[in-house]
Amino acid sequence: MNQYFCDELKCIFNELAKKKCRPRAYAAKNITVVCDEHSLAAYLAGYYTSVCNVENGGAVNIVAEGEWQNKELYDEINVEFSEKATLECFDNYEQYKENISADEGTVFYIANLQLEKYSDPAIFEKKKKNLAFWLESIKETKLNFVLIPIFNFKEPFPHGIAACSERELEAVTLYDSSFVQGKQVIELEDICRRHFTDDERKLKVVRFDTIFGPLVKDTSKLGFDSIIDELINDNRITFRRSDVFTYYTACYIRQAVSAVHCVSVKGRTGNIYNAANYRFTLHDIKNNLYKSFNYRKPEIVFDDSDGDLSNNNSYECLSNLKIKDLGWTIVTPLQEAIYRTALAMTADEYQAGFYVSIYQGKLERIKQVEMDIIKEIDRICKANGINYFLVGGSLLGGVRHKGFIPWDDDIDIGMLREDYNKFKKICPGELSDKMRYQSYSQEPQSHYIFEKIRLKETYFSTKFSNRFRDIENGIFVDVLVYDKTSNIKLLQKLHVKLIKIMSRVINVRWVNKPRKNIHYKATKLLLPVMRLIPFRVYHWCFEAVLRMFNWNKKSKYLIDGVGQNVGKGAFPISWFDEMTEIPYEDMTFSVPAKYDEYLRHWYGDRYMELLPISSRKSGHSLKRMDLGKYLFAETENLPSHINDHRGELYEKPLDE
């Protein structure tokens, strides 16, 4: 399946799931999209087919009622979601009726009035008859019906009007008799009015003036095609004076599907809703394209041939106040929406840096600093005969990318218990003064359940760690331990359960607040007692639970007791009988010779495939990032203020 199309479907599914705006069971099991006139039809089909696939079955039907525009995408949807759901394609109503008999569900009827063919009155007349026929055909059923007209404004609004509400569209058509598409929208809605005879008829309308996004074809109003052609062919973007004065509204495809679904589920019967989640100028489009594709270093050209246009703002915008009252909101940032749309029109590879803007352009420098930390760890381990190996995402990055995963920001190494104990004894005394060995034994205020090597004079605070201002919070490398577990599956599960319980207990005691979930009442009751117990007791108990099977010399399994993958369960100790080396950035690291089995255990059989675009982002929720003198390699050894955790002004002046 096209990666951009597939990723948008995933984002739509997740966003609507978060809003708890799922279709009712009966409605989800029979969805019909009529008229394959716009890419929105394919996205609606893809979303509802994915819902049916999760909801244990259902059918989605596409009725072309004319030429097919998205047939290849429908074929791909069928392949991707064919496990429990079916997507059926029909040329017309007669073919549909021969095969489908549905009394409940939802019909989405698309009228893309932007198409050139509808400028022909005869063809539009056929469209009106077809809409009336569909409305008449469902008269005796309980089917919901949603009309989706898509159109463009012909001219900016007069008298400084900035947006057009639902009932105001008629006034615009009366004022400007040449606004044909607006009149066509009103005529289609009048057909709905004639068939809206009682309160039981669940009939609604969702209007769009422009929809854009990956694989969406009708974006000429926004000038995407010409701007992208200039960027790709000439590596140039031309800015004009008039770009900043004309305002448009448009809807990104992800929010367009969300709007249609939101109206079908929450919209009031017999109501019309305008859907537009952005208001912007042509300058905004070009500016965001330049920022997104700045790796190409495009030439900027200023064309002032359109003269002085100051104080000459014009608007071609839909008002979305009514639909927002249903809880429909903007989710996708404008730059991301424009970048995704443009990227699908080019042969360019996805740039990981776009989705990791949280690092403010410092991600590559962070990786360099982490490589300096791992080189120091490597020096100590080799000097003392301590074996370590890459684990987790770092091993995946080494195998798949020969270095960091492009959007990753940390390094994880692992050790077996014997080497781990040796490392804990030796490393703190041999570590560079620039770094800090972070563990409960070395830093009593820290209660992480695994070791970290942090770089002093930096901050890399996550949402969790930022609340603890009295510990070292710099850039880090994680050091994990793999302990033995039972050969009996039931005891393995018990071992994992106990580890999870103890790690949560330490976490609750450290945060010193009740958990915000189903355990809230229990933790609120227990915390006063927990505060009476010293932290050393918790850490001793946790270590005892981790090592409870290390006595068993016949054990054949290990667990990742301190990492995020503890829930994945046990894995064979034989994977670590032999080691091999793989390149990683400018170094080579030891990894299990059976790394393929290891990675399949953690990430599944398709671990070599890249994640969907929307998932290629930081695993950390950063609250503070400050590299200090390590911002540049050239300044890291120069004199600078020595960090004081209380605040910058507590630091001693350089002349003292």
pLDDT > 80? residue 84 = no
What is the percent of the chain where pLDDT is above 90? Answer: 52
Q: What is the mean pLDDT of residues 229-247?
A: 87
Cα 111 to Cα 130: distance, rounded to the nearest angstrom = 11
Cα 145 to Cα 31: distance, rounded to the nearest angstrom = 10
What is the pLDDT, as a whole number, of residue 131? Answer: 95
pLDDT > 60? residue 285 = yes
What is the pLDDT, as a whole number, of residue 545? Answer: 95
What is the pLDDT, as a whole number, of residue 155? Answer: 77
What is the pLDDT, as a whole number, of residue 20? Answer: 62
What is the pLDDT, as a whole number, of residue 355? Answer: 53
What is the pLDDT, as a whole number, of residue 26? Answer: 42
What is the pLDDT, as a whole number, of residue 25? Answer: 44
Contacts of residues 644-648 at CB distance under 8 Å and 24 or more positions apart, as own/partner, are: 645/469, 645/470, 645/471, 645/473, 646/469
Structure tokens at 608: 């070599």
**pLDDT band, residue 152 (cuts 50/70/90):** confident
Point out the least confidently predicted range of 155-159, 375-379, 425-429, 642-646. 155-159
SS3 state of residue 445: coil
Burial of 133 (0-12, 13-18, 19+ CB in 10 A): exposed
The residues of the chain that CATH labels 3.40.50.720 are: 3-221+245-281+314-326
Give residue-wise pLDDT tens across range 22-65.
Answer: 555 444 568 999 999 999 999 999 999 888 887 767 789 999 99
Point out the least confidently predicted range of 112-121, 160-169, 250-259, 437-446. 160-169
Cα 72 to Cα 429: distance, rounded to the nearest angstrom = 63
Structure tokens at 563: 């990492």
What is the pLDDT, as a whole number, of residue 453? Answer: 97
Strand order from edge to edge, sheet including 272-274: 85-90, 58-63, 30-34, 106-112, 144-150, 203-207, 272-274
pLDDT > 70? residue 199 = no
Question: Helices 224-234 and 282-292, interaxial angle, to 10°?
Answer: 40
Q: pTM for the full model?
A: 0.76
More confident residue, 348 or 454: 454
pLDDT > 80? residue 19 = no
48 contact partners, CB below 8 Å, separation of at least 6:
23, 28, 31, 58, 60
Q: What phi and psi, each to the nearest 5 degrees, are found at residue 330?
A: -75, 130
Fill in the DSSP letter of residue 467: G
What is the pLDDT, as a whole number, of residue 16? Answer: 82
**pLDDT band, residue 622 (cuts 50/70/90):** confident
Q: What is the mean pLDDT of residues 317-329?
A: 87
How far is CA 288 from each of CA 270, 295, 318, 351, rounded to the nearest angstrom?
Answer: 38, 13, 22, 15
| Superfamily of chain region 3-221+245-281+314-326 | NAD(P)-binding Rossmann-like Domain (3.40.50.720)
Q: Is 616 left (phi over 0), alpha (psi -120 to 50) or beta?
A: beta
Nearest to 209 by CA among 242, 163, 254, 262: 163
